[in-house]
Structure 1
């Protein structure tokens, strides 16, 4: 069985985390993704770029499976090439603010004029029609505006989740929205316009369990969710480390009470049902933390697994690379990148068809592209002849590694493979 999005072409004019995460998922599911980059490239190329190659670790992760085309969309020639790419695409994704999208020919109207069957997906900080619509937004801003930072900090004051939770969640929502829009396009034959606003997406994400009594109008109680708000909700300290234990159902609590030699607690009214347990969650979590301190992590894991109570040791990010389950399932794959050498990258976790993972039958995600690596190929596929391509390269509207006004020889060698070019990293 092939990948479900095979044959779908995506033009990705997004940068940083959110849009590229969306299009990486589409690429992992089989779509052809053409990443359009401006001179200088996606700013994420520079994050953690300790080698000075504009291939930082975030970029290497989130842009796997894509082809890079460098276009200067401030030039008429660059915009003309983009219009050709849009005309042959199924999906166009960008995270430009409305006025920039209009100026560069990427508004919904412009895209659908060029290709009436296209899916136009625009990531926005805030939905159109509200007073925040034109404001810039990043992950931290949306964590704050959506209530996530306040919930994370609790009584101690607002705190950010220490990962780009909003960017990645909204990117995932965008991928789902694109799939729904493609289904609609295929059913009607007409293009689809998709707006994925960060604030509204994350507000809905937060309110799922945090709305509390404010589900009712007028409110029947406070907002929030007592279990996640408990100050005792944290990994438990054991004799020799930490352990995450999540006891939720009636059966799991009965098993835990029996495990600590206090089965009678299951019969107490305040612990009998999930409603009562949630109301007394601080007591239960305090009990759990006290009991966990009496044994080692391995002793508890063995006991809780035997009783089918969910638990896991607390991994660091580094621990993931030696986790026995991730190792057994082949979660990480090793790839050879043309400029960065051997890399270890996470596979996409979703399984399609009878093969456990794409790599199990020899298929690998292509490497994250060098800036402008595929400019010539894509330009030719779009129908440009060699004379047109030469004119665009000379003007700087189309970027090709080693050529153009933004390219300079660093004078360094690259592991014996010839000169290293510092390409399009200057304004």
Structure 2
């Protein structure tokens, strides 16, 4: 019996990897323009980190985390908590008052696999720690919009505010009162959430529940003066930068640490899995995890599997890396000399491919074409005898020239532009 990948876990094969590399390349370029620095985080963390940050009453902590109970460690279900833990542990707030960080890597949640959603999934996560200025919110959202635009994604931005600990209790009480009157009409998950995390009822995707909350009160009507001013400046900043958005009073996000600005980038091209990027502000999280007081933060994560699906739907063509030089060794001695030259040319920063199976020159030329080789260097018995191989230019009209069988001579005969 063949052993297959676990359900919800997926191999990313070489042809598909090109799309992933392309996404990362574009993202890193955009992040660099906004002066974000990369941080690399461990996959395993103490379970308590996620229970305290995400919230014990969330679906993630209650049902979806991969936790080793005997060790009390968990495979990370998201990156923000780990980012904040590292920010505190390494005293990054001392090094620089405002930290602009990003990380790229796998996350893990035990949920039902579906299109664009796996149990091992990958995210690009960006965070700004140390500033509560609404312009930072605007700048971060604008960066997300710029990245998705440069990837050719057709998305819309939805925006909301979740208020703060000062103004949320009044809204929570009003929402619970509204939900209680419709309690019997809600799904089992929402009945449970109505007492543990009532804001999550607004985020339910079950059609019958969505019908019940259509007239639910909006938190925007309960914002305190400070939150109202902050949210007004975020909206004005987005308008100033020409970033279109629409308000969505039902967007609450599924993690307890969010406050004030929250946002999602939505696509109509992935069915029910509409969000390709989402995030928000979490001004109290650093303190909750043992860090200094008054250390605000904001960030967002982009689901890479969903971006890959969108690129595939767009039939995006990502060119494979071409080979600078293909060395065609004919016969055992020609192959032996080619093997030596291939290693020497790689040390000189050229990308080199060659055949080790003793194929004919015709077959090797086909391989060179398939690999997109710019040049082919042919070494057979006649070339070994003369001490010169045949260098064929595959880019134009296949012009040929004789070149000494040495790495120095071959490097001199190739264009300098090929050196990586």
Question: TM-score when scaled to structure 1?
Answer: 0.23
Which structure shows the higher strand fraction? 2
The structure whose RCO (Cα within 8 Å, separation 6+) is larger is: 1
Instruction: Work out which of the two has the higher radius of gyration on C-alpha atoms and give 1 or 2.
Output: 2
**TM-score, normalising length from structure 2?**
0.24
